[in-house]
Each structure stands twice: as structure tokens, then as C-alpha cells.
Structure 1
Amino acid sequence: MKRILVTIMVLAFAFVTAACGNGKEASGGSGEVKTVKVGVSSGDTRTWEYIVEIAKKKNLNIELVTFNDYIQPNLALSEGEIDANSFQTVAYFDEFVKDQNLKLEAIGATVIAPMGLYSKKHKSLKSLPDGATIAVPNEATNFGRALLLLQEAGLITLKDEFNGSGSLEIIKDNPKKLKIKPVAAGNTPRLLDDADASAINNNFAVEAGLTLKDALFHESKTAKPYINIIAVKKGDADRPELQKLVDLYQSKEVEAFIKKTFKGNTIPAYVTVDELLNYQDAWTKPATEK
């Protein structure tokens, strides 16, 4: 009888051990599987969907939470409903966090969707005549972004007090006497038939069938205020699973995916967090000084 009991106990132990072993394999071979919720825009999520798949091999389960506006993702992050978000430029982030008094911080850079200067009438910046008409978005932030683009292109210089918000009064030097015409952002592609050139946000350019290869000039990752970020609650930056999230986004594998998928309309911009913190330097330094 004792032998039978011993045999049963041995078999039971072996079964439990095997079951535990199978569970370990299912979780990726070793280590605990962590889950993070990441808030993203409901638009194009192809990059994050790709990251979700490769994260599984790293014992990281990413749950994407989509939002239809640019307000809720930061509020949800502040309330702890998500662990991180990735949808906004660092300049927008700083302004929103300040206005809403939120305790959030950037932990990594992702991409820039460059604004470009396009023209149907001219083939290069050099061919833009004196007095050329340049259409730009009229909303303050994008107006400022367009002016910074023109400065980076070497066409104008902005005053030292430029803070990212656009106005004609903030232009310090305009040697070609360009006529800058603010219009609704969605109309900037339509102005290509009338204006000499038009500064067009990436999303409107794509809708109009334009690519960065068509642009006379476009932003690069030196346009730091408009680099997108991964944000978290203050105090969470050192969580290993969130650092892994940044490492995955900034990996060679994801960089190659972005370049292949978006064909230059979205550019990986993996600058350091310290560089992000100094993005305001870009507002008053022409490209030749960077």
C-alpha cells in the first residue's frame, strides 16, 4: 500500500513540474511577461502594431489603447489608465502639460512627420524669385513651424524671442522680401496653383499625393520641437518594461520598418531625451548654426 502511495506522489510531482515547464515556454522561455498599456492616435498605427508583435519575443505584452483626439491620451496617462502614450510632438507635450498642470515626462523620441515646402512653379529653393508668395498654415503653432522651416531653409531669420508661435511680426530678416500668406492648413496644398510655394503639413501633403521627394525643402530631425515622443508619468521613467518599450521603438528593426513602410514621409528621429529638453534652441538658431 505504501508503495502505491509513493508512486502516486511521484507521478503527481512529475505532472506539476511538467505543467510549470510548459507555462514557462509559453511565456517566452524565461522571465516574467510584463504588460503595458500604450495610448496611441487612432490614425495610422502600423508601427505600433509591428512593435506589438516583436515585443512578444521580449516577454513584453503591449496593449494598444486608441484615442480620437489629442487631449484624452495625456489625461488618461495622468490618471494611470495607461502606462505610456505615443502620439504627440515634444512642443505640444510641453505646452499641454504646463496648461493642464500634469506630472508627465518624455522618456524617448520616436519619429518626425516632416513639414515640407512644395511648389508647382519652381524646381529648387534657388529658383524662388524675390517677392515670391509663400502660403503657410494660419494656426499659431503650425504658422510658427512653417516659419522655422523657412529659417532652416535659409530664406528668413526669426527674432530671438520667437517661442514657436507664428506671426509676421516675429520675422527679423526677409532678404528675398517673400510675401508670406497665412491660410487654413487644409488649404495649403490647393494654394500650389497660385502661390510660388506652400508649406504643407505632412498629413495634408500625403492626402494631396505629395511625398517628401517632391518638396523643395523639408524638416529633418534637427527640427526638434516637432519630434514625436513616448511619454509616461513622472516617477515611472525607470520602470524596466517602459525602458524596454523605448528600446524596441528605437531598434534597428523598427527603424528599417518605418523607412520601408512610410518611404520617407515619416522619419525615425532617435535623439536623446537630453536633446529633446533643449528643443527650444532650434527656434532661434538657423540651420547653419546647428
Structure 2
Amino acid sequence: MSVRLRAFLALIAAVVLGLGLTACGSDDDQGSSSSGSSDNASKPLKVGASPVPHAEILEYIEKTLAPKAGLKLDIKTYDDYIQPNVALQEGQLDANYFQTVPYLDAQKKDNPDYSDLVALKPVHLEPLGIYSKRIKNIADVKEGASVTLSNDPANEARGLKLLQQAKLITLKTDAPDNATPRDIESNPKKLKFTTIAPANLPRTLDDTDLSVINGNYAIEAKLTPAKDALVLEDAAGNPNANLVVVKKQNETDPRVVKLEQLLHSPEVKTFIEDQYQGSVIPSF
């Protein structure tokens, strides 16, 4: 055999061997990717939640429904409304369950990094309430009464709308969704407003005439919204239902899909109704 022919055959053998190794490498990579996806699906779903009622609802699911569904939950509680979205965006959580669509929209407006956070289906409503230790009837509010509201834009506006529902103020007809006291058209009682962190609102009841408190913080403070609120937010047509939020790419994560199914199950609906007696209302 000539030297040229031997060299040519050697070149062909090298090419064939190289292609074979490349094909094997592709198979290994695909196997690794598939295995990674499978491993992820079997891992606990990390969900951030407010302690009440969100974490309680998740704990009910974890104990009674999740094992049969093949879902593992890792529930992490947060006492404020800021950290759960930070943790979700940074990848410390797979999902969070504490907020409403108006709140998420306001957060997205202020934080461009949250643009890929998406809200799933409504789960429950925690009616906002007006509470007082000094006043027994909303009609007895005196001129110059002090009012504390949440200092986050979505819940501040929601509180003002509740005060309007109570006929204490009138907002301008063109008031924006993130209305502030500057958007009040009529304030016949000359109410005086102070905004603070929502978690601290129950603590103001000893020092203020009225406090507009989020349902979850009212329950944590041993208040019963359905009984103790002077005025409670209307549930019908209310856009402020609480729900699960995930990154857009995780909407179809099998674990998220399972959690959504369980959160909207008849068993969870019954649990919410029995556990909270109208202070938390199913939205499905």
C-alpha cells in the first residue's frame, strides 16, 4: 500500500472516530439535562409566604394533600411584604404566596428586575378592615380623627378606597390606582393620615382613632376581621385576591402546577372557610 493511500485511510479513520465521540458526547449531555430536569421535579418546592393565613394554608396542604400528589414543600415565612419578591427574583425561592395583583404591579413599576414575575390564579381574599379601640361605630368618627394606613402604594390606595366605602372621604373621580391622600376630593371629617409599615398597623390601635389593617396582620394580632372590623372591604368583584407568584419560566414547573391544583381544590376551600370563618374568603 502506498504512503499516500495509508495517510488517506488514516485521515478517514480519524474523522469517523471524531464523529463517534461527538455523538457520544451529545447523548451524554442530553442524558445529563434530562436527569437534571428529573432531579429538579423531585426536589421540594421552596415557597415564601406570610405566616397567616398563607403559610397555614400551605402547611395544611403539606400535611394532608401533598404526599398523595407527590409534592414536597419547603415553606419559608416572611413578616414583611418586601423580602418574598426579592428572594424569588434572586432564586432563593421557587414561588411566593402573599400578594395581590395590584401589589405586584406596583412592585414591578418600582423594580424593573421584577418584570419576569407572573401572578397565577386567585386563591383567597383577606378583606381589608377599619379597626378602632376608641370608636364603636363608624358613624361616631369625630372631626380631626387620626388614621393610620399602609405605607406601600397598593395597600395605601386600597385603604383610601375602603375609607371612601365607609363614606368618610371621597376620592377624585380621576384618582389613579395608586391613590394617596393628595387624591382626596372631600374630607369632611378632616381626617389626619399617617402611613407606616403594614405589619406595624395593629400596634397603632392604642394611639390612633382608626387603623386600616390588612387581613393577615389583623388575624396575627388576634383580631377577627369578620367581627372586629368597623367596616370590612367588599368581597364581590374585589381585585385584591391573594395568589402564587413565580418567574415566568417556572409557570409550567410540574411542582408549581401541582401546588396550583391543590390550592384550588375543594379540600382547601373547605379548610379556608372552616378555619377563618369569613375573615379569609376563597376566591375560587
TM-score interval (norm. to shorter): 0.5 to 0.7
Q: Is 2:211 aligned against 1:198?
A: yes
Q: 2:218–2:224: 8 Å Cα contact kept in structure 1? A: yes
CA RMSD, Structure 1 to Structure 2 (Å): 3.2
Match of 1:50, as an amino acid? Y
Length, aligned pairs only: 233
Looking at secondary structure, tell me which structure has more helix per residue: 2
Aligned residue for 1:264, secondary structure, equals coil
What's 1:180 paired with?
A: 192
TM-score between the two structures when normalised by the length of structure 1: 0.66
What's 2:72 paired with?
A: 62
Displacement of 1:249: 0.7
Q: 1:116–1:217: 8 Å Cα contact kept in structure 2? A: yes
State how far apart, in whole Å, the 1-side matches of 2:213 and 2:92 are: 35
What's 2:272 paired with?
A: 258
Displacement of 1:140: 4.5
What's 1:243 paired with?
A: 257
Can you give the 5+ residue segments of structure 2 that lack an aligned partner in the other structure?
A: 1-40
After superposition, the Cα gap between the structure-2 partners of 1:122 and 1:95, relative to the gap in structure 1 and judged at 3 Å, is: closer
Map 1:47-196 to 2 at 5 A.
47-52=57-62, 53-58=64-69, 60-68=70-78, 70-78=81-89, 82-98=93-109, 99-102=111-114, 103-125=116-138, 127-128=139-140, 131=143, 133-137=145-149, 139-141=151-153, 142-159=155-172, 160-166=174-180, 168-174=181-187, 176-182=188-194, 184=196, 186=200, 190-191=204-205, 195=209
Can you give the 5+ residue segments of structure 1 that lack an aligned partner in the other structure?
A: 1-32, 271-290
Q: 1:144–1:164: 8 Å Cα contact kept in structure 2? A: yes
Match of 1:246, as an amino acid? E
State how far apart, in whole Å, the 1-side matches of 2:281 and 2:223 are: 16
State how far apart, in whole Å, the 1-side matches of 2:217 and 2:211 are: 11
What's 2:229 paired with?
A: 215
Match of 2:232, as an amino acid? H
Displacement of 1:101: 2.3
Q: 1:120–1:193: 8 Å Cα contact kept in structure 2? A: no
Aligned residue for 1:48, secondary structure, equals helix
Instruction: Indicate the structure (1 or 2) with the bigger Cα radius of gyration.
Output: 2
After superposition, the Cα gap between the structure-2 partners of 1:165 and 1:64, relative to the gap in structure 1 and judged at 3 Å, is: farther
What's 1:274 paired with?
A: none
